[in-house]
Structures are given as C-alpha cells and as structure tokens.
Amino acid sequence: MHIMKRQNYTLQLVQPKELTASIALWIRAARQRAGYTQAMLASRAGVPTSTLSRLERKSAGSLELLAKLLFALGEIDSLNDLIQERIRIALLPTDLAQLPKTRKMPRRIHPKGKDQ
C-alpha cells in the first residue's frame, strides 16, 4: 500500500477545481489511513472503482460521489459539522439589531421573613 508523504496542504481556493482536488486528497488520505484499496472503498460506497480512481487522479466527480465516499469512510460527520455551522451563520441576520428581542426575566421574589 502506498502511503502519502505528510506535506503542508493549504486550502487557498481560486478555482472550483481546487476545492475538488482538496476533497479528493482528503478522500485518498482517509482511504489509505483506513487501509482500503480503491476497489474496497468503491464497493463500500456503491460506486465503480474507475469513478473513484478518476476522482483521485483527476479530481473529477460529483457532489453525490463525494458524499457517498465520505459516508463510506466514516468522514461524513466532519463535513456535516461544517455545513451545519455555515447554515447557522447564513441564517443570522446581517444586522444584529434584527435579532428577536428576548423576554425580560421576572425579578426574583424573596420569601418574607428570610434573612438576606
């Protein structure tokens, strides 16, 4: 099994192809860490081995393919966490003054006869 050398990879995206290449690298590294061959991972993900090979070599693949492979690798939670955080941020108003006003909490009432 060929293990990739550890290098510093930065995610500085200029073109969409660079995003796909970064995700393809993530999938290849996760596949190798799990000890899967391309055929094994492709079988687990329900995709042709040639499709996985093309993704790893040419960074060519669909979002559905990426999701299937990340799911099969057990890496989908990492992506889901990122997506949920980005959705949460996207749903925030651009002006924080537009946030709904919170109810004022009632003042605490102290029982009579208790020393303070």
DSSP letters, the chain, are -PPPPP-------SSHHHHHHHHHHHHHHHHHHHT--HHHHHHHHTS-HHHHHHHHHH----HHHHHHHHHHHT-HHHHHHHHHHHHHHHHS-SSGGGSPPPPPPPPPPPPTT---
pLDDT digits (tens, 9 = 90+) for 59-106: 888 989 999 999 999 999 988 898 899 899 888 887 877 777 777 767
Confidence of residue 11 (pLDDT cuts 50, 70, 90): low
For the chain, list the domains and their CATH numbers: 16-75 (1.10.260.40)
The pTM for the full model equals: 0.65
Q: Which of 7-11, 42-46, 50-54, 107-111 has the lowest mean pLDDT?
A: 7-11
Residue position matching structure tokens 């999938």: 27
Q: So what's the pLDDT on residue 27?
A: 94
